[in-house]
Amino acid sequence: MLTLLAHAAPVSYKFPLPIWLYVCAGGAAVLLSAPAAAFAVAETPVRERRSRPLATPGWLRPAGVALATALLVVALAGGLFARGPEAGEFFENPMTVLTWVDLWVGLGLVSFLVGYVWDFVSPLSAGVRALDRALARRGVDPLRYPERLGQWPAVALLLVWTWMELIWDPAKQPRTLALIVIAYLIATAIGSALFGAATWLGNVEMLTVLARAFARFGPLELAPRNPDEWLATPTEERTVRLRPYGAGLRADPPLPAAGGAFVLTALATVVFDGWSQTDRFGSFQQWFYERWSSLVEHVDILQTLSLIAVVALFVVAFLVIARGSARELAPTLIPIAAVYFAAHYFAYLLIAGQYTLGVIVDPFAQGWNPGGLGEYGITKSVTPAALVWWMQVLLIVWGHVAAVFAAHRLALRGTTPARALAAQLPLVLLMVGYTVAGLWVLAQQIRA
């Protein structure tokens, strides 16, 4: 149980070379990709993809929304009304499994690997858009959302969400989590009614903001490219096409204000999650306990301050390096955050996701076992430790190299490759730092 809740898969693999050598090699690969990009990338306009549109049956979205809505109802019902002897256990209740495992982890992985999916299956999105249309028919105009506020509310919500996931234990209790989700649904409905569904979903609703950010790196391209415009366009005038991974970093609409801070917060919180499960973090905590003994009785305070410090370090470092170009360069950070999210969570999803079917068929923890679907063995060694480690390394290095190439393409606009490389160097060094930090955290020993 503790190992699964740690999210980071314990690596018992004995590396053939010292860890520091892997970390330095990964950082060097990212650093050397900058001059490689300078030689390989020319300043070219963003071209439209000529791939054939993918077939998207009209029933596909309603079916996806219906399935997601049914899972939401099952989760809330289990969280509020389960009364069996194991109803309060994390992996025995649909509220906790469907929220913290399938929704949170699955959302990031599917958005990164597939693309724009969440907007079209989210019951929350479908509900507030229906509310939006109902208010429009009655002539109710939304209030003007402050443009400078951008996605800062989503940044704050992501911090709160991560704090609940990693630090605040009551959020892992099914009934408490169900009440939080209900409150979040109500708040989203009120915010969408006040400012409009598209504005609220794109700037404040944390799950939609995360999914759209990661989907920019994914292989699905929308036309029109904005998900809100795509949904509002008649079926016969909108298309879905395939594109290379990373193509959307330049082609998709610009990120709103604070978009870069949101992406970096997503990266920093996952790095903190991994670090907080290691022996190194235990030693870090012990240092403070020896000097301020009162913290021993308030462990959550130290963990909360540590989380905020890690996020602030990542965000401030980027804002200082990027300066006036922060908004333009923000999309280049998406590959870094997306691949680290995938590297950190994919093994956890393979193991913890096996509990999903059992909690769906037995949402009230009554021991129901229809067709033998409620009782089955859980395989905790789904993938060899060596494969997990090498997949993590390759994902992280690939994502950082893709970020360097994307940044170079942006830097090329209106200048020469040499000048673009020189201007890009501080950002590349920052990306090298993110690479080293990510690989170092993943290589640490997980606490038992």
Reduce the secondary structure of the chain to three states and give it as a string. Answer: CHHHHCCCCCCCCCCCCCHHHHHHHHHHHHHHHHHHHHHHCCCCCCCCCCCCCCCCCCCHHHHHHHHHHHHHHHHHHHHHHCCCCCCCCHHHCHHHHHHHHHHHHHHHHHHHHCCCCHHHHCHHHHHHHHHHHHHHHCCCCCCCCCHHHCCHHHHHHHHHHHHHHHCCHHHHCHHHHHHHHHHHHHHHHHHHHHHCHHHHHHHCCHHHHHHHHHHCCCCEEEECCCHHHHHHCCHHHCEEEECCCCCHHHHCCCCCCCHHHHHHHHHHHHHHHHHHCEHHHHHHHHHHHHHCHHHHHCHHHHHHHHHHHHHHHHHHHHHHHHHHHHHHHHHHHHHHHHHHHHHHHHHHHHHHHHHHHHHHHCCCCCCCCHHHCCCCCCCCCCCCHHHHHHHHHHHHHHHHHHHHHHHHHHHCCCCCHHHHHHHHHHHHHHHHHHHHHHHHHHCCCECC
Percent above pLDDT 90 for the chain = 45
DSSP state of 192: H
Most confident of 290-294, 408-412, 418-422, 441-445: 290-294
Most confident of 19-33, 167-181, 364-378: 167-181
Least confident of 8-12, 79-83, 140-144, 327-331: 8-12
Q: What is the mean pLDDT of the chain?
A: 85
Cβ neighbour number for residue 185 with a 10 Å cutoff:
16
pLDDT of res. 2: 41
The band of 11, judged by pLDDT with boundaries at 50, 70 and 90, is very low
Least confident of 5-14, 21-30, 335-344: 5-14
Per the model's pLDDT, the better-predicted residue between 335 and 4 turns out to be 335
The band of 44, judged by pLDDT with boundaries at 50, 70 and 90, is low
3-state secondary structure at position 278: strand
Query: Is the pLDDT at 13 greater than 80, yes or no?
Result: no
Q: How many Å apart are CA 49 and CA 372, to the nearest integer?
A: 47
Least confident of 78-92, 181-195, 409-423: 409-423
Count the alpha carbons within 13 Å of 410 in the hemisphere toward its beta carbon: 25
* Strand duo 239-242 + 220-223: pairing: antiparallel
Closest CA to 310 of 163, 179, 203: 163
pLDDT of res. 373: 85
Least confident of 47-51, 84-88, 317-321, 405-409: 47-51
Query: Is the pLDDT at 399 greater than 60, yes or no?
Result: yes
Mean pLDDT of 210-232: 93
Most confident of 28-32, 175-179, 351-355: 175-179
Q: How many Å apart are CA 389 and CA 409, to the nearest integer?
A: 31
The band of 3, judged by pLDDT with boundaries at 50, 70 and 90, is very low
The two structure tokens encoding residue 302: 């130290």
pLDDT of res. 50: 60
Least confident of 115-124, 225-234, 357-366, 425-434: 425-434
Query: Is the pLDDT at 398 greater than 90, yes or no?
Result: no
Mean pLDDT of 179-205: 97
Closest CA to 222 of 209, 241, 236, 208: 241
Cβ neighbour number for residue 386 with a 10 Å cutoff:
14
Mean pLDDT of 19-46: 64
At 120-138, the pLDDT tens digits run 999 999 999 999 999 999 9
Q: How many Å apart are CA 268 and CA 316, to the nearest integer?
A: 11
pLDDT of res. 298: 80
At 56-109, the pLDDT tens digits run 888 889 999 999 999 999 999 999 999 888 889 999 999 999 999 999 999 999
84, 364 in Cβ contact below 8 A? yes
Q: How many Å apart are CA 9 and CA 39, to the nearest integer?
A: 38
Asked if residue 426 has a cis previous peptide bond (ω within 30° of 0), the answer is: no
Per the model's pLDDT, the better-predicted residue between 100 and 389 turns out to be 100
Percent above pLDDT 70 for the chain = 84
Closest CA to 267 of 325, 314, 318: 314
The band of 412, judged by pLDDT with boundaries at 50, 70 and 90, is low
Mean pLDDT of 322-339: 81
pLDDT of res. 10: 46
Sign of CA dihedral 61, 62, 66, 67: negative
pLDDT of res. 417: 66
The band of 360, judged by pLDDT with boundaries at 50, 70 and 90, is very high
Query: Is the pLDDT at 324 greater than 70, yes or no?
Result: no
